[in-house]
Structure 1
Amino acid sequence: MKTPFALLGLALCLLLAPAVQAQDSYPSKPIKIVVPFPPGGAADNFARLIGQKLGEAWGQAAVIENKPGAGGQIATQAVATAPADGHTLLVVTVGHAVNPSLYPRLPYDTEKDLQPVAKLATVPSVLVVNPAVPAQNLKELLALAKVQPDKLAYASSGNATTSHVAAALLASMAGVQMLHVPYKGSAPALTDLIAGQVQLMIDPLLSSAQHVKAGKLRALAISSATRSPLAPDLPTMAEAGVPGYAFAAWFLLLAPSGTPAPVVAKLNAQVARSLGAADLQERYTAMGAEAGKGTPAELQAFLAAEIRRYARLVKDTGMKAE
């Protein structure tokens, strides 16, 4: 006859068996990483870098699918309604935390339908202007904006994206009015900025640096609280004339809610190993990016706090989806 302890042990084994099996068999097919922006932007770059690493580690291809539009809602809904098995993932940035306050109705519940898996990166943004803009620094740019309300147009990667939030925050803190022109991604926004269709943009350093080096854009300030090693001569926004300004874009990897905890844990651990690899650290340094970290539970708390933070920003600035 089995003792109570033996029966308890058997029961625990039966309960844990499906979880162990889920972790051991994952991934059983290619992983799809959905990006809410066109190719070429920061989110797309991080998705491809981590996708390559996951493929190398597990022998299953990681396919990047770009689904831009509606401020990230199209891509987010697609993943929120996908099978919760860890084979469909989503890369999001600050806009994911802004959307619940910016849009009266979303086709998904931001906190209930998706869950954080890992943080991929944190990246400072840079304020860039078209060379034809007669401003050599941030103070001169803000002076122009004050005498010409809504005449200076700033591009963004779309409603509620990092570039939209960063510029709305700047306008609010500086007490100026500028016209918001949303695009479907950083690449088309930068194309129009270079062409002079819009005058400025606060864009992740990753995608703007090449255009600044080529002389197609002029950099005025970095958005982070400290200067970037990639541009040590470029002042922070606070140093350049807006005390207290600090903004950095973050990039999270999400999965549909209900994804088995062992699968989420396996993904989180592998992303951490990948971010620690020497070659990826070298790439991040070259992009001015900081590797992300945190457990799924810590990132869930982080995202909830960011949603509350940006709810206050939307209310205080009157930020709207254009």
Structure 2
Amino acid sequence: MFPTRPIHVINPYAAGGIVDNISRLLTNKLSKQMGVPFVVEPKPGGGSSIGTEYVARAPADGYTWLIATTSNAANMALMPAIRTDLKKDFVPVAQFAVSPNYLVVPASSPISSVDEYVKLAKSKPDELSYGHAGVGSTPHLGFELFKHVAGIRVVAVPYKGAPPIIPDLLSGQLSAAYMPSSLAISLAKSKKIKVLAVVGETRTQEFPSVPTMGEAGYPKAVVTPWYAILVPTGTPLVVVKRIETEIRLALESPEVSTGIAFAGAMPRFRNGIDTERMIDAEIESWRTLVKAAGLNME
């Protein structure tokens, strides 16, 4: 009777980031519900491809899960030689959260709006730089999309996760960054950064006066990160459905929903069938965008 032993949840990004934090919040609750230990294992690298491939090659028995994100769908278009296929190698179980990023600049920056940043970048092609949480991460992909839509050239500087970006951003070494809510809120409250826009479809409760990228004039630069649980293809349907049900129940818990919100994301349940449809649509959307923008991460 599933499960009877520890379940390993692979985070294909660095420890300590939003993916790691919300995964632990969810799995702590799931461990109590399902009666077995959960082990969240960060396996970063290769724009999430290392951890993703690890899960794809794992036994299809329900004991190894992947925390998939927007980046996994985008990588299908950005990395033609990638050794895993999100559609063939995995079964989507459930989406459990979404989170907006924010376009931010140092508090010392003279920039106060997206338009001002675009004008500055156009006046200094390849002179400004921005930090991102790793090649293939959602902030990386989102900013590259913004560059394409806005017609600007800004140098990308990769870091191992979002927190290491902060010192270089605050010092002005970086002109801007896309940051998750958890970091943006604390830095804005201490007046260390200025938040120029929400990189999502709606304004947020945390920054009600900050416009969305669409409101700022760049609707095609909107990327809303999502987080979902996937398992290897071949996992028994009864196991997939059990996991889906447990995730839904966990998200109904105030401790999980509140914790995820505090971590900078928003609880958002979507069943396996709807998650699969969403991922399929995102892959096609990214393929269209990558072709138009000429992006390539290889």
Q: Residue 178 of structure 1 aligns with which residue?
A: 154
Count, aligned residues = 298
The structure whose RCO (Cα within 8 Å, separation 6+) is larger is 2
Alignment of 1:184-263 (within 5 A): 184-263=160-239
Does the C-alpha gap of structure 1 residues 281 and 297 become closer, same or farther in structure 2, counting only changes over 3 Å? Answer: same
Does the C-alpha gap of structure 1 residues 194 and 258 become closer, same or farther in structure 2, counting only changes over 3 Å? Answer: farther
Q: Distance in 2 between matches of 1:163 and 1:100?
A: 17
Please state if 1:318 is matched with 2:294.
yes
Which of the pair is proportionally richer in helix? 1
Q: Distance in 1 between matches of 2:3 and 2:132?
A: 36
Residue 252 (structure 1) shift: 1.1
Q: Distance in 1 between matches of 2:105 and 2:227?
A: 25
Q: Is the 8 A contact 1:127 1:220 kept in 2?
A: yes
Q: Is the 8 A contact 1:68 1:74 kept in 2?
A: yes
* Residue range with higher mean Cα deviation, 60-69 or 203-212: 203-212
Alignment of 1:1-322 (within 5 A): 25-287=1-263, 289-321=265-297
Q: Is the 8 A contact 1:225 1:245 kept in 2?
A: no
Q: Mind listing any 5+ residue stretches in structure 2 that lack a counterpart? A: none
Residue 243 (structure 1) shift: 4.4
* Residue range with higher mean Cα deviation, 233-242 or 83-92: 233-242
Q: Distance in 1 between matches of 2:61 and 2:184?
A: 36
Amino acid at match of 2:92: P
Q: Is the 8 A contact 1:121 1:290 kept in 2?
A: yes
* Residue range with higher mean Cα deviation, 110-119 or 181-190: 181-190
In the TM superposition, what whole-angstrom CA distance separates every residue of 1:146-185 from its partner, at most 9, and x where no partner exists? 1011222121122222101211221122121111222232
Q: Distance in 2 between matches of 1:164 and 1:316?
A: 17
Q: Distance in 2 between matches of 1:81 and 1:266?
A: 22
Question: Could you tell me the TM-score, scaled by structure 2's length?
Answer: 0.94
> What's the secondary structure of 1:91's corresponding residue?
strand
What is the RMSD computed on CA atoms of the aligned residues?
A: 1.7
Question: Could you tell me the TM-score, scaled by structure 1's length?
Answer: 0.87
Bigger radius of gyration: 1
Q: Distance in 2 between matches of 1:71 and 1:165?
A: 10
* Residue range with higher mean Cα deviation, 126-135 or 248-257: 126-135
Does the C-alpha gap of structure 1 residues 35 and 191 become closer, same or farther in structure 2, counting only changes over 3 Å? Answer: farther
Q: Is the 8 A contact 1:230 1:288 kept in 2?
A: no
Amino acid at match of 1:267: I
Q: Is the 8 A contact 1:41 1:207 kept in 2?
A: no
Q: Is the 8 A contact 1:118 1:292 kept in 2?
A: no
Q: Percent identity?
A: 35
Residue 288 (structure 1) shift: 5.0
In the TM superposition, what whole-angstrom CA distance separates every residue of 1:257-300 from its partner, at most 9, and x where no partner exists? 11111111011011011111122222234345332222212211
> What's the secondary structure of 1:239's corresponding residue?
coil
Residue 189 (structure 1) shift: 3.0
Q: Distance in 2 between matches of 1:49 and 1:228?
A: 22
Amino acid at match of 2:184: S
Q: Is the 8 A contact 1:221 1:240 kept in 2?
A: yes
Runs of 4+ in 1 over 4 A off after TM superposition: none
* Residue range with higher mean Cα deviation, 152-161 or 203-212: 203-212
Does the C-alpha gap of structure 1 residues 159 and 60 become closer, same or farther in structure 2, counting only changes over 3 Å? Answer: same
